[in-house]
Amino acid sequence: MKKFSKKFLKTLLVFIISTIVIYMTLTIIFLNERCKEYQFSLFSKKYYDLRNIDSEKIKELGDGIGNYAKLLEDSLDESYYQEDSNYHTIAEYFDPLGYSIWIFFQTEITSITHRYISISILIGASISVAYIVITSKKINNILKLIIGYLLPMIIVPPIYMYTWTNRFWDVLTTYKGIPAYFYIGYTAIFILMYLINYRIGRRMTKELNQAIKDK
């Protein structure tokens, strides 16, 4: 029981760490891409110089927010804000332009923070399964490869695509739809874990043989 608990806690730790690391890495990369699209910069002062800013992109951004604000002002849309059982248009309570900017930022932040939750959990779970399989002494190398590597490669893409679209797709769309970094990253992580476990096991075997020899 103690051995099982220890193994479970180690696996849980692997899952938590791998999920957080993957999520943070992908989210920061995506955040940086979005910042570049809107001509901000996380890591440099490039856009502090107005000569580096594309005026057309600024115009597109302004048009998008401005058009939404104008809809609120003119037609008041079909959205409403409810108070005291009476229906009121949003523009009655909020400044249309300010509300439009607030909606824009809320949408962007939600998109950035939620985009990689599912794939991070799936990859974290896959790494945890690989860890269990690789560190098991009762499973031979062929089964380790099948269960720890090939199985996640087959199972993760359909689940990932379903979380995005709420439906299952044909084989070609499914396996092309998942980002390439999953295949590359998971392969690298699996090989690394296998090599580390192999070296640890080899060292332990050597130490055990030496101890037996000394006796």
pLDDT in tens, 140-170: 888 888 888 888 888 888 888 887 777 888 8
HSE of 170, CA atoms in CB hemisphere, 13 A: 2
CA distance 99 to 136: 56
- Say how far apart CA 11 and CA 9 lie, in whole Å: 5
User: Which residues, 6 or more positions from 157, have their beta carbon under 8 angstroms from its beta carbon?
Assistant: 174, 175, 177, 178, 182
Span 95-118, pLDDT tens digits: 778 888 888 888 889 989 998 888
Write down the pTM of the prediction.
0.76
Residue 120's contacts (CB-CB under 8 Å, 6 or more residues apart) are: 19, 20, 22, 23, 26
pLDDT in tens, 165-200: 778 888 888 888 777 878 888 888 888 888 888 777
Mean of per-residue pLDDT scores for the chain = 79
Determine contact, residues 76/69, Cβ cutoff 8 Å.
no
Report residue 23 as tokens: 């999520």
